[in-house]
Structure 1
Amino acid sequence: MKTTSISIAIAMLALVLSCKETGNEKVQTTENPIVSDSVKQRIDSVLKSFVDAGDIAGVSALIYEKDKEVYFNAFGFADVEAQKPMDRSTIVQIYSMTKPVTGTALMTLFEEGKFQLDDPLEKYAPEFADMKVYVGEDSSGKPILEDARRPITIRDITRHTAGFAGIGDTPLGKMVAEADALNRNNNLVEMAEKMGKLPLQFHPGEEWLYGPCVDVQAFLVERISGMPYQQYVREHVLDKLGMEETRYFIPEKDRKRFAALYRRTGKGTIERDTLTYSNYLEKWPLTRGGSGLTSTLDDYMKFARMLVHEGSIDSVEILKPETVQLMATNQLADSITERHFLPSKGQVGFGIDFAVRTAPPANADENNGVVGEFFWDGAASTLFWVDPVNDLTAVMFVQLFPYDQIGLHKSFRDAVYGPIEVE
């Protein structure tokens, strides 16, 4: 796949990596550390201010820089009603921060030569053969469908260009809702069968639309490996990294550490949400690749540090360096101009289950970050990023719906890197 944007991104990443190491010694890219004592105080002040304003119940953050823990703190409550403080061992719902874990599991099979990224998905999953694209309705209200111009590829499901539609107040959205492929009582095969019968929203490869692509990745892992997805990701990623508390199901003994989730209903006003709890306190047939994991700060930091180390940590290899570099390279051609909410993340493209920063912030209102970083977040406003330029990894946990409408992510990033200076 040869596009200008991908070539530039690869060149930038190569420059980052070449600057990081000379022989066996790492070259510091900054004379002074990013997270100094004054920066720690700034982060404290910023995070505490959101709690004091009543816009979040609690928040915690952990940062490693050059293999050392340089920041940890927690403010507010994991459970306001129980007056349970937010702390290091708090278990939270990470929602879409599940996606990079799933992508990592999928890429272990890529390294084994089990598939190529540009293979048609239908080669392994005939459920997705002969896909149709929804183009409207006729005068009687019947959907008008046309053949997809090309098959969905595995690359498409890793970068959200497959064309899968979401639920919404449109005829196609209502078809998706009626199929209910992501019902927790479906298993992954049933999910795939239902999704494969639905028309796509656009032709594969022509737009970026966030949706169930990573759930299909989990199904593909299961199909190719011959092993239940939950077992595969456990054995090939989570257990190898010692991520014992990153789970789809929370046992009784650990539930006292499970944070409540809160909905912000107005300035300084939050209310407890109880609808999501059964997702994690019962065992369901559907093990989603796109969401569903819970984790702790330290557990997820192990995953982030593996990535900043290009696939290995503490003598344990999950992926090869070239695979992590591939995942952290923008995979979106310049021709893909329709990108849903992705531009709201800043000057980014999208790699394999991560947003990838391709340019500095264009203005002071954008999210701060370093060219070459890759990151993602979760629906409950959690966030992590990997900054290979500075050997820095950050994880921030909060349990807030709707997704960050208070500028928490930008404020946290600005606290870490300093105010944005645009030339």
Structure 2
Amino acid sequence: MKNLLLIFSFLFIICSCKETSKDEVVEKLISTDNNIVTSIAKARIDSVLNAFVTSGNIAGASALIFENGKEVYYNAFGYSDIKSKIPIQRNTIVQIYSMTKPITGTALMTLFEDGKFMLDDPISKYIPEFGDMKVYDGVDANGTIKTVPLHREITIRDLTRHTAGFPNRGNIPGLSKLFQTADAMNRENTLTQMAEKMAEVPLWFQPGSQWEYGPSVDVQALLVERISGIPYAEYLQKHILSPLQMNNTRYYIPEEDRDRFSKLYIRTGEGQLVQDSITYSNYTEQWPLTRGGSGLTSTLDDYMRFAQMLVNEGSLDSVQVLQPETVKLMATNHLPDSVTKRSWLPSKGQVGFGIDFAVRIAPPKTPEENNGVVGEFYWDGAASTLFWVDPVNKVTAVLFVQLFPYDQIDLHKKFRDAVYGHYPF
């Protein structure tokens, strides 16, 4: 009887996996504990990451995955410094760029829990520099910018979901040049000087009317500073980084740790990499501007501690950073259906946007879309780094590379496929 049941089970799996490989069928048969990261998945991940390195399209890659609170995968391939033949390692320090944003959002939401603000408060309540904004309305025949009044003020919710209206492109007639001239993101600025310069430039569109990635999270950092009365970097250290023991997550890398700091590479063609020479000093000198949207460096284990705190609904190792309901709020889609203009966000797949995360709201519709589970929340960085939190399967993943331009080689898609199996999973 047992043999008959086994045969019927095998036939059922075969029939339900028409687009699934032989290895994945075997994987489903032998994976009785319903784990996502099986031995076959680990082999797939190794194969994918190693192939990108051996092809010369990335210098090095490292990945760390936890499932149900336990480490289930770690490996590293290639180099953090090709010229010096320094292998990428577990404690290699990388530039995480926009993966700074979820950390900033977490810092902001600790103040929300303290009752210091409401999401629909106008930001001018705390940053009066933004109290008299105008909205861009094109240019006249002479190239002079035209403006119209605000329909409503920018809210904190707008900042957290990228609907504030700040310009962030180089091709808006008149407005792009004005924003560039304002030089708000100059690293010599303080956060207050940044806001003063941003406030001199009209908004690109009415707040809440469309999704456009931009400097909203940098303004969140100033919000934290104004509401708490503490410099942003100091607040971040005290309330997020130190409690989570993220000791290698910093704006500034001291001299004694720079031998662990990865070089960043620019891909100029198939198998062609050129070492970046511009960004290094952003982290080896101490600058006044502590951006909320970018600027932190980190290690695999540090960022995994942050991800584990989130999958644990706000706590890690008896440290409570956020309440479970706050994490749920952050991981909920805040984009209404009325926001139809969403820039490149649809390229991420079936996602909306929460508080500084993309939030998966439906399974992938095609094999070409990123794999993932409904309820997952995640983000990535300009140097092609990636992390996600899968609360359904209690999986957290961190992928580190240092590659410009941002993932033009389908790395994230193939890494996700390696973790979850091919579509449909």
Task: Sort the TM-score into its range (normalised by shorter chain).
Answer: over 0.9
* RMSD over aligned Cα atoms: 1.1
Q: Could you report, residue by residue, the CA deviation over 1:150-174 in whole angstroms, capped at 9, with x for unpaired residues? A: 0000000000000000141331111
Structure 1 counterpart of 2:343, from 340, 345, 353: 340
Question: What TM-score do the two structures reach when normalised by structure 1?
Answer: 0.92
User: Per-residue CA shift, 1:2-29, capped at 9, x if unaligned?
Assistant: xxxxxxxxxxxxxxxxxxxxxxxxxxxx
Give distance in 1, aligned partners of 2:62 and 2:54: 14
Q: 1:363 aligns with which of 359, 363, 366?
A: 366
Tell me, yes or no, if the aligned pair for 2:387 and 2:398 is still in contact at 8 Å.
yes
- Indicate yes or no: 2:332 matched with 1:329: yes
User: Matches of residues 14-29 of structure 1 in structure 2 within 5 Å?
Assistant: none
Tell me what 1:281 maps to.
284
Letter in 1 for 2:222: F
Give SS of 1:74's match.
strand
Q: Secondary structure at the match of 1:62?
A: strand
**Which residue of 177, 180, 196 corresponds with 1:174?**
177
The residue number in structure 2 matching 1:405 is 408
Amino acid aligned to 1:144: K
* Residue aligning to 2:160: 158
Runs of 4+ displaced beyond 4 Å? none
Residue of structure 2 aligned with 1:222, choices 225, 228, 244: 225
Please say if 1:387 is aligned against 2:390: yes
1:124 has 2:131 as partner: no
2:56 paired residue among 54, 69, 73: 54
Aligned to 2:138: 136
1:239 aligns with 2:242: yes
Which residue does 1:73 correspond to in 2?
75
Alpha carbons 1:167, 1:177 under 8 Å: kept: no
Q: Does 1:37 align with 2:39?
A: yes
Query: Equivalent residue for 2:203?
Result: 200
Given that 2:144 and 2:174 are in contact with CA atoms closer than 8 Å, whether structure 1 keeps it comes out as no
Structure 2: gaps of 5 or more residues: 1-31
Deviation at 1:31, TM superposition (A): 4.1
Give the Cα–Cα distance (whole angstroms) in 2 for the partners of residues 125 and 153 of structure 1: 11
Match of 2:150 among 134, 137, 148: 148
Letter in 2 for 1:57: A
Taking the aligned partners of 2:48 and 2:59, their CA distance within structure 1 comes to 14
> 1:130 Cα deviation (Å)?
2.1
Number of residue pairs the alignment of both structures matches: 394
- SS of 1:396's partner is strand
TM-score with structure 2 setting the length? 0.92
Cα distance in 2 for residues equivalent to 1:37 and 1:124: 52
Give the equivalent residue in structure 2 for 1:310: 313
Distance 2:33 2:129 in 1: 54
**Partner SS for 1:264:** strand
Shift of 1:337: 0.5
* Structure 1 residue 140: Cα displacement: 2.0
State the 1:102 CA deviation.
0.2
Q: Is residue 167–residue 176 contact of structure 1 (8 Å, CA) maintained in 2? A: no
Q: For residue 87 of structure 2, what is the amino acid of its counterpart?
A: P
- Counterpart selection for 1:417 from 409, 416, 420: 420
Is the CA contact (8 Å cut-off) linking 2:105 and 2:356 kept in structure 1? yes
Aligned residue for 2:168, secondary structure, equals coil
